[in-house]
């Protein structure tokens, strides 16, 4: 079951996290997921985005907070480990 639901706000992990965890190709890999955080996703580090869709495999499609889905957010699938923990 997904931790977040459609309409929830999520914050992408920080640029500091990305820089500390990326490999020589600019990818951040997870031991528990085949989804990767790629170089082009880093421009969204620290941003608050909205869950637009949740796929059957639990991956998220995000949109900007205006709901327009601009800024290339539909190009990627996002996983929960890419988000800051809720407080």
Please state, for a pLDDT cut of 70, what percent of the chain lies above it.
87
Determine the Cα–Cα distance for residues 79 and 73; give it in Å rounded to an integer. 13
Across the range 33-38, mean pLDDT stands at 92
Q: How confident is the model at residue 41 (pLDDT cuts 50, 70, 90)?
A: very high
pTM: 0.86
Q: Is the pLDDT of residue 56 over 70?
A: yes
14: tokens are 């920080």
Domain parsing of the chain, residue ranges: 9-82
The candidate with the shortest Cα–Cα distance to 82, out of 61, 52, 55, is: 61
């Amino acid at each position: 079951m997904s931790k977040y639901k459609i309409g929830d706000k999520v914050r992408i992990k920080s640029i500091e996290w990305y820089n500390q965890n990326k490999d020589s190709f600019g990818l951040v890999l997870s031991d528990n997921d085949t989804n990767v955080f790629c170089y082009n996703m880093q421009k969204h580090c620290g941003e608050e985005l909205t869950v637009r869709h949740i796929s059957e495999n639990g991956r998220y499609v995000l949109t900007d907070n205006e709901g327009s889905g601009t800024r290339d957010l539909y190009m990627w699938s996002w996983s929960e480990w890419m988000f800051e923990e809720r407080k």
